Structures are given as structure tokens and as C-alpha cells.
Amino acid sequence: MKDRLISGGIAGLIAGVIQNIYGAVIKATGITDRSFSDFAEVLIMNKPAQTLIGTIVGFIGHIIVGTMFGVLFSYIILLTSHRYFVLKGLGYGAILWFLLMGFGTIFNLAQFQDIPPTPALTTFIGALIYGVTLAYSLRIIDKNTRLL
């Protein structure tokens, strides 16, 4: 019997880490003023912490969210197929970006208010990176393990 929960969780964790690395790099280089961990900090603590512990909490929160969405994606693939998995990953990432940014704005969370175009675009690119990495990770798990 194959285990969608574990395989999707592992793929989501991998994709979340890659997305976090991308976010840290674009923030460190000054391309944007916020990373994915910053958004997770706000979801968990209702404000940006701006401390090392706050960054760690944000990173952990983002990885947990990435893992949960990985599990959901693995069940979506189960209901459809592995065909066009990259396209499905891109679409999934884009939909997550729209929904999460939209809900953050609707609920007036800090970091989500009045987002300038550059952070909006960099987070969209990060969401696409997450979706493609998630799809590829799930595909590799499928081919190389008995989890799926």
C-alpha cells in the first residue's frame, strides 16, 4: 500500500525549503523587503518579529505550511494523474499564491497590506518555484520509493 501523506509531506517539505532559500536570497540581495518566512511570522505571531528567534519561528511555520500543501497536492495528483505534472505544479503554486496573498490582504495582516509590485512579483515567482519543486519532488519519490 502506498502512503500519500508521507510522500506528499516529504515533497512539500523539500519544496518549502527551496522556496525559503529563494526568499532569503532575494531579500538578502535587496530585490525585495520580505521573504516567505516573514509572511509566516505574521501568520503565527500577528507581526514581524525582526529577531533571530522570530526568523526561526517563521521558517518553521513556512515549512509546516509547505508540508501541508504538499500532502494536499499528492492527493490531487492521486485523483487526477501524473500527466502534465509540471504544469499542475505551476498552476498549484499560482493558485496558492493568489489565495494566500488574498486571504492575508482580506484579514489585514501586517506584511500583506499595500504590497508593492516587486514583492508581489517575487512571491509569485517563489510560488511557481514551490509548485514545480513540489511536482518534481513528488515525481522522484514516486519513481524511487514505494511510498506512492
Q: Look at residue 1 in the predicted model and tell me its pLDDT.
A: 43
| pLDDT mean over 39-50 | 81
Q: Which residue type, as a one-letter code, is found at position 36? A: F
pTM of model > 0.75: yes
DSSP structural state of residue 110 = T
C-alpha cell at 86: 509540471
From CA 145, how far away is CA 141, in angstroms rounded? 6
| pLDDT mean over 85-94 | 95
Percent of the chain with pLDDT strictly greater than 90: 53
C-alpha cell at 93: 503554486
Q: Look at residue 113 in the predicted model and tell me its pLDDT.
A: 78
- pLDDT for 20-32, tens place per residue? 999 999 999 999 9
